[in-house]
DNA sequence: CTCGGAAAAC
DNA sequence: GTTTTCCGAG
């Protein structure tokens, strides 16, 4: 599959098969949906509509049928399919657009990131292979027009980027076909091509964000760095635009992306962290979607990276940023530099950490290192509010409320915001009739997975405290005592932290960070050690920070939606009242917009690619 | 229609 | 680990 036949290179499979990739198993529903969305043939049954990433299932039965065909589940129906879709809510892959029937919205951030972790496309620059906007318009980032007002849609800002790119894209797109059992035709060809670029966004993105600060968002970056590469206003034409559509644009969720050169925007090496750090104040982060773009383009030199790290580190310490942030870097970032050579984007280089073997052993991922192991799925915590609470212990009842915590915020926000309309609120608010205590952190978990993932900063902490204990070492479950319910988040975080294996790669970076780690000795002392105790406070501090970060992220995710809207609204005018609230918070939309657009675009490209690849997978039942 | 819990299938 | 299946509740 990875063959590169086409121009590009293909990435090793492992590259695009993150955890949930179809490769390993079967095609996933969201891949399938994306696939359908890309094909014009299916516009009658499902199509992009509304805001960025939003799509509507025009013919539920048909979609279900197609899905059933693909999965060889003749009994499939919309009820079931929709359940599967709902299942994505927790993963935050999808959201439901409230008030609109059969309308859902993708969270590209996650998708992209997850699935195509790192590939570096950054360099893509060279080529820009990536390019393909899936849909015609590049919708970019922010726009979110309500379906009703298509005209707006096209705000100039979105436009697309370079034409060249298009062509490539267009081709790709054209070819795809959905394959289902019945059809049988699957298209493999796409893959190869698609393979090309895909995605490194994630890492980068993450890295970036992290660096800056979780809260910082792209915009921040942009600001810092300067203007985004692509100013809005480019041309908008879609490559393959939709013929059928009357609307100006079908809204593709994917932003297009083109980044200018390799270095792209961000290239400027600097550490934003330093400058930005303080920003924690920023109200909001950019939408996730954006982020990816940044990442992709970025290409740092190792040196730069180091600088970043240092800077980051400092900032962390100085500002209490979460350590995690940087952890990511080492693995992620660093690698990129190497890839630079590849010029075309070759196989990307994803990382060098594994480069070698990565290619050779497609499947093997690095056990320890894999910095990117993101899992889409966080543990869906069960929300068993309704039934009884099985969990004995908890007295807490129903738990939950998503809204309660930050994490939930993000999710909630979606619901919430929208919810204005509906009854959701009830849900959100929910029951917690009385028990405030237990918080459910579904979202959080997600977040965690994304952000922290493996990266773990543990090392960092270790240094300072050695908290980091090998997971098993003591056997003791939590080395650290539970802080308290209030901090539920922390738990999750902690877990991650602890779990995370020490990252080998970190070494250097860490070294830098920690001036002198004590004896870093070999075994990291388990909690039992005195050191551990000492650490706690520090740890707590971090945790707290993390929690916030996460929360922020979550919000950000949501925010993104809103944000988009808000921006849109401003520029255009607002259609709906609900968002207003958020607007207030948001900073000037303008600034955000530009950057976002770019980012999304990029994302979109990748997504498309990804999609294309995915399509290959399926096949006969 | 939409939401999720739960359990069973892959 | 995801999806399917079933289902009760808004």
Q: What pLDDT, on a 0 to 100 scale, did the predictor assign at position A53?
A: 87
Region A117-139: mean pLDDT is 31
Q: What pLDDT, on a 0 to 100 scale, did the predictor assign at position A81?
A: 95
Region A546-564: mean pLDDT is 47
Q: What pLDDT, on a 0 to 100 scale, did the predictor assign at position A51?
A: 81
Express as a percent the part of chain A with pLDDT over 70. 13
Per DSSP, helices labelled H in A159-301 are 163-175, 189-195, 201-212, 218-225, 272-276, 290-297
d(C-alpha A477, C-alpha A454), whole Å: 19
Q: What pLDDT, on a 0 to 100 scale, did the predictor assign at position A388?
A: 39
Q: What pLDDT, on a 0 to 100 scale, did the predictor assign at position A27?
A: 87
C4 nearest neighbour residue (CA to C1'): A80
**Confidence band for A103, pLDDT divided at 50, 70 and 90:** very high
Express as a percent the part of chain A with pLDDT over 90. 7
pLDDT at A537 over 50: no
Measure, in angstroms, how far nucleotide B4 C1' is from residue A82 CA: 11
Q: What pLDDT, on a 0 to 100 scale, did the predictor assign at position A109?
A: 66
Measure, in angstroms, how far nucleotide C2 C1' is from residue A84 CA: 9
The answer to whether some atom of strand C lies closer than 7 Å to the beta carbon of A28 is yes
Q: Please, which residues have CB within 8 angstroms of residue A207's CB and are 6 or more apart in sequence? A: A295, A298, A325, A328, A329, A332, A333
**Confidence band for A404, pLDDT divided at 50, 70 and 90:** very low
**Confidence band for A620, pLDDT divided at 50, 70 and 90:** low
- Over residues A338-364, the pLDDT tens digits come to 333 333 333 333 333 333 343 344 333
Region A453-459: mean pLDDT is 34
Region A409-433: mean pLDDT is 36
What is the residue-wise DSSP string for A503-544? Answer: PTTHHHHHHHH-S--S---SSPP-TTSHHHHHHHHHHHHHHH
Measure, in angstroms, how far nucleotide C2 C1' is from residue A94 CA: 15
Q: What pLDDT, on a 0 to 100 scale, did the predictor assign at position A104?
A: 93
The answer to whether some atom of strand C lies closer than 7 Å to the beta carbon of A87 is yes
Place of tokens 């270790």: A462
More confident residue, A33 or A371: A33
More confident residue, A549 or A152: A549
**Confidence band for A615, pLDDT divided at 50, 70 and 90:** low
Which DSSP state fits A418?
I
Nucleotides of B under 7 A from a protein CB: 1-6, 10
Quick one: tokens of A276?
């930005």
- Over residues A153-191, the pLDDT tens digits come to 333 333 333 333 333 333 344 333 444 444 433 333 333
B4 nearest neighbour residue (CA to C1'): A383
d(C-alpha A137, C-alpha A601), whole Å: 10
- Over residues A258-269, the pLDDT tens digits come to 333 333 333 333
Residue-averaged pLDDT of chain A: 45
H/E run at residue A390 = none
Shortest-distance nucleotide from A82 CA to C1': B2
In chain A, how long is the greatest CA-to-CA distance? Answer: 69
pLDDT at A108 over 60: yes
- Mark A464-484 as b/e (b = at least 16 C-beta within 10 Å): bbbbbbebebbeeeebbeebe
H/E run at residue A57 = strand A54-57
**Confidence band for A85, pLDDT divided at 50, 70 and 90:** very high
> In Å, what is the CA distance from A252 to each residue of A49, A153, A205, A323, A387?
8, 11, 21, 36, 39
Shortest-distance nucleotide from A428 CA to C1': B3
pLDDT at A69 over 50: yes
The answer to whether some atom of strand C lies closer than 7 Å to the beta carbon of A339 is no
pLDDT at A89 over 70: yes
């Amino acid at each position: 599959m990875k063959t590169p036949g086409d121009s590009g290179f293909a990435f090793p499979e492992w590259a695009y098969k993150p955890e949930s990739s179809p490769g390993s198993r079967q095609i996933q529903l969201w891949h399938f949906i994306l696939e359908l969305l890309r094909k014009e043939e299916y516009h009658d049954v499902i199509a992009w509509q509304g805001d960025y990433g939003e799509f509507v299932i025009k013919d539920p039965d048909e979609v279900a049928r197609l899905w059933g065909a693909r999965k060889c589940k003749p009994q499939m129906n919309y009820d079931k399919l929709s359940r599967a879709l709902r299942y994505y809510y927790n993963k935050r892959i999808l959201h439901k657009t409230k008030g609109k029937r059969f309308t859902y919205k993708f969270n590209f951030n996650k998708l992209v990131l997850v699935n195509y972790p790192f590939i570096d496309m950054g360099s893509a620059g060279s080529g820009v292979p990536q390019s393909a906007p899936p849909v015609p318009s590049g919708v970019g980032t922010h726009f979110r027009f309500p379906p009703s007002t298509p005209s707006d849609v096209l705000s100039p800002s979105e436009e697309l980027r370079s034409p060249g790119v298009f062509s490539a894209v267009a081709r790709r797109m054209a070819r795809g076909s959905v394959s289902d059992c019945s059809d049988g035709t699957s298209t493999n060809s796409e893959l190869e091509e698609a393979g090309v670029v895909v995605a490194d966004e994630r890492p980068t993105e993450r890295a970036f964000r992290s660096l800056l600060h979780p809260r910082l968002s792209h915009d921040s970056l942009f600001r810092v760095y300067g203007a985004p590469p692509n100013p809005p206003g480019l041309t908008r034409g879609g490559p393959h635009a939709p013929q059928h559509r009357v609307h100006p644009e079908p809204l593709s969720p994917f932003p297009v992306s083109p980044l200018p050169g390799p270095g792209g925007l961000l290239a400027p090496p600097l550490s934003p962290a330093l400058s930005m750090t303080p920003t924690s104040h920023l109200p909001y982060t950019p939408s996730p979607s954006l982020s990816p773009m940044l990442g992709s383009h970025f290409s740092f030199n190792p040196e730069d990276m180091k600088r970043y790290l240092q800077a980051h580190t400092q900032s962390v310490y100085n500002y209490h940023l979460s350590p995690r942030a940087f952890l990511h870097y080492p693995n992620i970032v660093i690698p990129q530099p190497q890839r630079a050579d590849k010029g075309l984007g070759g196989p990307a280089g994803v990382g060098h950490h594994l480069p070698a073997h990565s290619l050779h052993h497609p499947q093997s991922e690095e056990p320890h290192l894999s910095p990117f192991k993101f899992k889409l799925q966080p543990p869906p915590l069960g929300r068993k509010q309704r039934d009884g609470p099985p969990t004995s212990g908890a007295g807490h009842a129903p738990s939950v409320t998503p809204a309660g915590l930050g994490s939930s915020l993000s999710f909630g926000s979606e619901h919430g915001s929208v919810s204005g309309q509906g009854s959701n609120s009830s849900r959100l608010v929910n029951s917690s009739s009385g028990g405030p205590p237990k918080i459910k952190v579904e979202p959080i978990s997600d977040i965690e997975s994304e952000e922290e993932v493996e990266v773990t900063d543990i090392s960092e902490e270790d240094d300072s405290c050695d908290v980091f204990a090998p997971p098993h070492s003591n056997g003791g479950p939590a080395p650290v005592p539970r802080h308290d319910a209030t901090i539920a988040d922390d738990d999750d975080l902690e877990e991650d932290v602890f779990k995370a294996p020490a990252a080998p790669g970190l070494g250097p970076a860490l070294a830098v960070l920690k001036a002198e780690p004590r004896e870093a000795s070999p075994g990291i002392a388990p909690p039992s050690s005195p050191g551990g105790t000492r650490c706690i406070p520090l740890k707590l501090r971090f945790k707290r920070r993390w929690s916030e970060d996460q929360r922020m992220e979550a919000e950000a995710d949501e925010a993104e939606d809103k944000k988009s809207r808000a921006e849109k609204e401003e520029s255009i005018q607002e259609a709906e009242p609900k968002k207003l609230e958020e607007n207030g918070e948001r900073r000037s939309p303008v600034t955000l917009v530009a950057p976002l657009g770019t980012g999304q675009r990029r994302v979109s490209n990748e997504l498309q690619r990804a999609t294309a690849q995915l399509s290959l997978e399926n096949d006969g039942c």
